[in-house]
Amino acid sequence: MKTLNLYVTKNLLFIIAAAIIILTFGMVGGNMIRVFQLVAAGIPLDNALKFAVYILPMVFSFTIPWGILIAVLLMFGKMSADNEITAMRACGISIFQIISPLIILTFVLTIICIFLQSDLSPHFMGKARMLVKFVGFNDPSAFITPGQSNDLGNVVIYVKNKGENNTIRDIQVFKFDNDRKNIEQDITASNGIVKVDKEKGTTSVILYNYNIINYQKDLPKDRIYGKEFTITVNVERELNEMALSRRIDFLTYKELIGRIILYKKAGIDTTEAEVTLNLMFAMGLSPIAFLLLGFPLAIRTSRKETSIGLFVSIILSGIYFFFIIACNTLSSYPKLCPQILLWIPNIVYQIGGLYFLYRITKR
């Protein structure tokens, strides 16, 4: 048994590590393209690389469960197709003895995923957001990307073209209220320029040949035309507000629990915070769900059907993440109890996996 466990553990570690590295490289690769674009636009390389490092905990929290699933399908699928598992069972070795190294590895990786989801990931994603804001405020002309939304505090700017000397052309600006929930003004302009006053801590966007539509409450929808209009963002105030009142998505589990307690004392709805807290632990337990999902598929497939089993497992794991993330969007509907609904994939996959595993042991 010691030799068997060592063989299974060594191969599992190799496959899981290889799968995680490849998947992480793929997920980070898309963001690295954005990093290189920022560097080419003038953003310092160290800030761009910091952003790539800050998103790694979030990426690992997704790639670790996928790595376990791929390792289970590849290794145990091959062992099943080569009749190695049948031979082991004929020698009196039970299924649970065969997969005991996998269970231990999955338990360890589940603890790591919970830690990533509940502590490291929100903390470093918050730092990534702060870094992006800081870079954008200090060098907005470099940070403004044509064809994309560019967030400057309570102002979102869409720019079609960008020229030299901080000039921008074909501009649309959405100015939000302080809560960033309602649009106050929709502004279009033919061209403009971005200026930074580091002494005052402000960023100014000067628009030429502008057209403004007002959406403010208690005011008629007026169209205003003019030659020059300036939008000023207080950089220091924005950064201080971001540091003091971070979004719920960027709070660790301890901070979320504290905020839930404060909200309940103040009579504020806590659904969003509760959904985020439950989401952390539901996603953190995904390695166990993926183990129980993948092992029955691996055992029941022949060599020719391994690719089919891999395809089916990818579809099912995609449904798992989609359902949990979809429940996260229901935080504004407390009557639906999204904080409870997002546990359905874990319950279904783990109970289903245990049932099929039980069926396999009885064959």
Question: Each residue of 82-94: pLDDT tens digit?
Answer: 777 777 777 777 7
Q: What's residue 314's pLDDT? A: 76
pLDDT at 112 over 90: yes
What is the torsion angle, in degrees rounded to the nearest 10, for the CA atoms of residue 288, residue 290, residue 293 and residue 295? -80
Burial-class residue 211 by CB neighbours within 10 Å (0-12, 13-18, 19+). Answer: middle
pLDDT of residue 265 exceeding 70, the answer is yes
Q: Read off the pLDDT band of 108 (50, 70, 90).
A: very high
Lowest-confidence pick of 81-90, 341-350, 351-360: 81-90
Query: For a pLDDT cut of 90, what percent of the chain falls above it?
Result: 4
The burial of 10, by beta-carbon neighbours within 10 Å (0-12 exposed, 13-18 middle, 19 or more buried), is given as: exposed
pLDDT per position as a tens digit, 269-293: 888 888 888 988 998 998 998 888 8
Q: Of residues 160 and 343, which shows the higher confidence score?
A: 343
Reply yes or no on whether the pLDDT at 344 is more than 80: yes
* Residue 240 or residue 70, greater confidence: 70
Question: How many whole angstroms separate alpha carbon 117 and alpha carbon 251?
Answer: 11
Which among 5, 62, 65 has a CA at the least distance from the CA of 291?
65
Q: Contacts from 173-180 at CB under 8 Å and sequence distance 24+?
A: 173/205, 173/207, 173/231, 175/231, 178/154, 180/154
Question: Would you say residue 114 has pLDDT above 90?
Answer: yes
Q: What's the token pair of residue 341?
A: 């609904």
| Mean pLDDT, the chain, whole residue set | 78
The token duo for 266 is: 């103040």
Amino acid letter, residue 50: K
**Orientation of helix 344-361 relative to helix 306-328, angle to 10°:** 150
Q: Is the pLDDT of residue 268 over 80?
A: yes
d(CA 315, CA 252): 30
C-alpha 295 chain-centroid distance: 26
Does residue 339 surpass a pLDDT of 50? yes
What pLDDT sits at residue 242? 47
pLDDT digits (tens, 9 = 90+) for 116-166: 998 888 888 877 777 766 665 555 555 566 777 766 667 788 888 877 777
Residue 157 CB coordination number (10 Å): 23
169 pLDDT higher than 70: yes
pLDDT of residue 243: 47
| For the chain, domain boundaries | 2-136+250-361, 142-235
What pLDDT is attached to residue 349?
Answer: 86
